[in-house]
């Protein structure tokens, strides 16, 4: 479909509309009403929020859940016989069950609440990694990892004298699977790989990556920070050994995230932090640890955050993940076509399978300058290295501009982005 | 658009496109490296010392946005031939200009550097404008640590 045809039938926001091909029934206006933050002006212009890969806005359902929790149920969990503590505990544990169902884990006890993707990865590195990886062993990551799936492994290999192996990325922004297969050896003790690249939008063939690793007897940690909000996740079908993500990219609060691990692995791992809740019995001679998942949840957790995550999961599940993904794909295709037509604009990351991330560079204008001018037009994008400095080096750019779309973004907002980019060209012409 | 025009003035765009003194300096007496970890801007400042603690020659290389590059370029032009204490005094003035509340007059004595006054409307960009200056400052102090703006 041409960009023109698409513009003509683009979502007006007002009408319930069916888009061609995908049989999508989608009331964008109603959805947008659920996100209060979208309805504000920035520098006198309507906010166009296209920085969803960094963090998403929160629906009313989540905001109200937090409000309700702090108004009525606030108490510590697993500690009180009193009513509020009981309510807080029930809600917190209900959220854990929601996460389990959402990612299709087998057991609720395989879901551990953390502060986010970063903490989940550090946890695995310092417990599973320290216990199972020895001097001379190898860990495989890829060239498109977020710093949070690089640095914890670098720290670990330095501590134990192991080695990091890096799977290269092709010009299109896809993993070099052949190189990956050749990299696996008896020395490989873990593969830690991003499911969807935050800088390029590339969806990696995770099932295949895991199958190949398993054939070599190697477990796999999946960084799901950018996949859990765009793809339907089934950790059992994937056969992922660890799957980690952050709530704040899934319309939930910051400060809450998840580590999923197979029970058989989690059972044998030593605790990460010591403290309250993670113990069964403490004496000065000997402490015995609590069962899963509590063994890994030392101290008072982010109770409200977990409950908010549960509410966010309810919200997206009601809308239907696959429908949301189809709509986002249409927005991405529209944006990719429109932006690619601009002279001097180059899209970085042209994988066949992508989520709604559009990274680009424009002539020799620095992304930071572009980001400032777009912001002045009300358009929020990320300009920088997106915590993937090695990947930027791979593509020979210091930084990119990244527009990342969520299901609440409209075709008009893509047009606003386009107009704002033309402003940039105007400012920098000559 | 008007604040944007203030920020991206002709002079700034020109210095961005054709930065002055943009080269390495073999035989430099001092050099220092600066980073802005937030955006990946990176530059190296070189200087040659003359008699009486004067900056005889000044140059830079690196990559960054228009604001950081233009600021570095303008800085090298402005400070050549100045003494250490003069350079530091100009740095002070420059810094208070880019961090001032919007609407205030630019302080006197900054010459061409006053074109960067518009930066104060864009707090997120102050670090870009001051990266070269912090780096030079560390070169003047003879520190060998890389400067970061964080
Ligand atoms: C792919 C990927 N991995 C890891 C992270 C780190 O997530 P967090 O900062 O929430 O721990 C991010 C988010 O920026 C990401 O996009």
Instruction: Say yes or no to pLDDT of A6 above 90.
Output: no
Mean of pLDDT values over A300-325: 97
3-state secondary structure of A92: helix
Give the atom of ligand 1 at the shortest distance from the alpha carbon of A117: 11
**B13, B42, B128 ranked by CB distance to A368: nearest:** B128
**Cis-peptide into B97, omega within 30 deg:** no
| pLDDT tens digits, A102-153 | 999 999 999 999 999 999 999 999 999 999 999 999 999 999 999 999 999 9
Whether A387 is a known active-site residue: answer yes
pLDDT for the residue A364:
93
Mean of pLDDT values over B125-136: 95
Q: Is A51 in the pocket of ligand 1 (CB under 6 A)?
A: no
A428 contacts on B by Cβ (under 8 Å): 8, 13, 66
| Residue B40 · residue A385 · CB < 8 Å | yes
Q: Minimal Cα distance from B42: which residue of A?
A: A398
Q: Which residues pair with A111 in a beta bridge?
A: A260
Per-residue confidence band for A260, with pLDDT thresholds at 50, 70 and 90:
very high
Q: How far apart are CA A97 and CA A109, in angstroms?
A: 9
Per-residue confidence band for A14, with pLDDT thresholds at 50, 70 and 90:
very low
Mean of pLDDT values over A35-51: 97
Mean of pLDDT values over A55-61: 98
Instruction: Report domain extents, chain B.
Output: 2-144
Mean of pLDDT values over B90-103: 90
pLDDT for the residue B150:
60
Please determine, for the modelled complex, whether the ipTM score is greater than 0.85.
Answer: yes
Give, as one character, the DSSP assignment of residue A290.
Answer: P
Domains of chain A: 3-51+320-429 (3.90.1150.10), 62-317 (3.40.640.10)
Report the candidate in A96, A101, A139, A104 with the shortest Cα–Cα distance to residue A238. Answer: A104
pTM of the model: 0.92
Mean of pLDDT values over B10-38: 94
What CATH number should be reported for the domain whose range is B2-144? 3.90.1010.10
| Mean of pLDDT over chain A | 93
| Angle between helical axes of B66-79 and B10-17 (0-180°, round to 10) | 90
Q: How far apart are CA B94 and CA B78, in angstroms?
A: 11
Q: Is A227 in the pocket of ligand 1 (CB under 6 A)?
A: no
Buried/exposed A183-213: b ≥16 CB within 10 Å, e otherwise? bbeebbbbbbbbbbbbbbbbbbebeebbebb
């Amino acid at each position: 479909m041409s960009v023109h045809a698409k513009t003509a039938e683009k979502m007006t926001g007002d009408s319930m509309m069916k888009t061609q091909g995908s049989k999508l029934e989608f009331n964008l206006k109603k959805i947008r009403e659920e996100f209060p933050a979208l309805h504000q002006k920035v520098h006198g212009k309507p906010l166009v929020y296209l920085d969803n890969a960094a963090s998403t806005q929160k629906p009313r359902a989540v905001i109200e859940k937090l409000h309700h929790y702090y108004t009525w149920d606030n108490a510590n969990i697993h500690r009180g016989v009193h009513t509020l503590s009981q309510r807080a505990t029930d809600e917190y544990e209900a959220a854990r069950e929601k996460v389990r169902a959402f990612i299709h884990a087998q057991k609720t006890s395989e879901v551990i609440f953390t502060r986010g993707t970063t903490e989940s990865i550090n946890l695995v590195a310092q417990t599973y990694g320290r216990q199972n990886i020895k001097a001379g062993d190898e860990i495989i990551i890829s060239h498109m990892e977020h710093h949070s799936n690089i640095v914890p492994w670098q720290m670990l290999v330095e501590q134990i004298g192991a080695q990091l192996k890096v799977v290269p990325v092709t010009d299109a922004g896809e993993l070099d699977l052949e190189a990956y297969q050749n990299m696996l050896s008896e020395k490989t003790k873990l593969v830690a790989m991003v499911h969807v690249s935050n800088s390029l939008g590339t969806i990696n063939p995770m099932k295949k990556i895991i199958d190949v690793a398993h054939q070599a007897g190697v477990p796999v940690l999946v960084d799901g920070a950018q996949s859990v909000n765009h793809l339907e996740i089934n950790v059992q079908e994937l056969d992922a050994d660890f799957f980690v993500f952050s709530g704040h990219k899934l319309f939930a609060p910051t400060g809450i995230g998840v580590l999923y691990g197979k029970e058989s692995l989690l059972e044998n791992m030593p605790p990460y932090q010591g403290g309250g809740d993670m113990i069964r019995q403490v004496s000065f001679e000997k402490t015995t640890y609590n069962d899963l998942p509590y063994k890994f949840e030392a101290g008072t957790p982010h109770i409200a955050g977990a409950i908010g995550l549960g509410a966010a999961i309810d919200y997206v599940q009601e809308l239907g993940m696959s429908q949301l993904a189809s709509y986002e794909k249409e927005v991405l295709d529209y944006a990719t076509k429109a932006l690619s037509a601009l002279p001097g604009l180059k899209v970085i990351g042209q994988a066949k399978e992508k989520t709604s991330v559009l990274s680009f560079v424009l002539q020799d204008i620095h992304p930071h300058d572009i980001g400032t001018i777009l912001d002045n037009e009300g358009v929020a994008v990320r300009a920088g290295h997106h915590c993937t400095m090695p990947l930027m080096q791979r593509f020979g750019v210091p930084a990119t501009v990244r527009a990342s779309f969520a299901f609440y973004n409209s075709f008009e907002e893509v047009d606003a982005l386009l107009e704002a980019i033309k402003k940039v060209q105007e400012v920098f012409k000559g | 658009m008007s604040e944007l025009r203030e920020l991206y003035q002709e002079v700034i765009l020109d210095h961005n496109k054709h930065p002055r003194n943009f080269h390495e300096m073999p035989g430099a007496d001092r050099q220092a490296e600066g980073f802005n970890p937030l955006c990946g801007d990176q530059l190296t400042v070189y200087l040659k010392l003359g008699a009486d603690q004067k900056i005889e020659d000044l140059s830079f290389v690196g990559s960054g946005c228009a604001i950081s590059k233009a600021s570095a370029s303008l800085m090298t032009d402005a400070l050549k031939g100045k003494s250490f204490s003069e350079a530091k005094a100009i740095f002070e003035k420059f810094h208070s200009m880019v961090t001032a509340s919007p609407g205030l007059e630019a302080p006197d004595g900054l010459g061409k550097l006053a074109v960067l006054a518009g930066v104060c409307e864009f707090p997120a960009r102050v670090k870009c404008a001051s990266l070269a200056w912090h780096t030079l400052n560390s070169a003047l102090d003879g520190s060998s640590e890389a400067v970061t703006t964080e």
